[in-house]
Structure 1
Amino acid sequence: MLALRSSSRSLIRATNRLNPVFARGLATAQDPYDVVVIGGGPGGYVAAIKAAQLGLKTVCIEKRGSLGGTCLNVGCIPSKAMLNNSHIYHQTLHDVKARGIDGHG
């Protein structure tokens, strides 16, 4: 979810008419952030990084302790890494055994 203050939205709409490629609103002393991203899942943290790369003062609000969501931290990606590592371990044990090395210690 992306939240912009109303003055930024107005400025972005006006700037988009002038330059459709790149537009941004600027933070003021009253509003310290240009962009507030709510949720640090796979879409949220990427959106926050991109906004910061574009020069916007950005904050990403996440209720859990880490960004990236379930897939990045405990789901798909760690599971695939574990499967790949176990495959490499299995291959190593059997390949070294064929070369006369005892890989079981």
Structure 2
Amino acid sequence: MAWKRHKRLEYDPLAKRMQWVWYNHEEQQFGIETVEDWRPIIEDNKRKYAATDERAGWQGDMHRIGSIPIALWHDVMKKTGNGKDRKAVKKWINDPDNRFFLTRPVKL
């Protein structure tokens, strides 16, 4: 199969997201690829995480514990029944592979 990037559909500079159309001339098929640059979010999260005192209290009503790219969050919601499977959401947040999306030390 000879897939080739054919055309850029859209670019969202705020989300740093692009959509591309790929086309296979041999089989007359096309696909759409969405590419999102998560590096700025991860770098910002790392800075906020490093600046947070682990002994800081939890006073108040709301606390920001992380920042997750919207496309990734949609994927998590899809896999957890739109967040209804709360154990699965907590498992995803507590997974060490996802630690770069946290902005403060937390275990839910």
Which category of TM-score, normalised to the shorter sequence, fits these structures? under 0.3
The structure having more radius of gyration, on CA atoms, is 1
**Which of structures 1 and 2 has the larger relative contact order (alpha carbons within 8 angstroms, sep 6+)?**
2
**Larger proportion of helix:** 1
**Larger proportion of strand:** 2
Superposition TM-score, scaled by structure 1 size: 0.25
Superposition TM-score, scaled by structure 2 size: 0.25
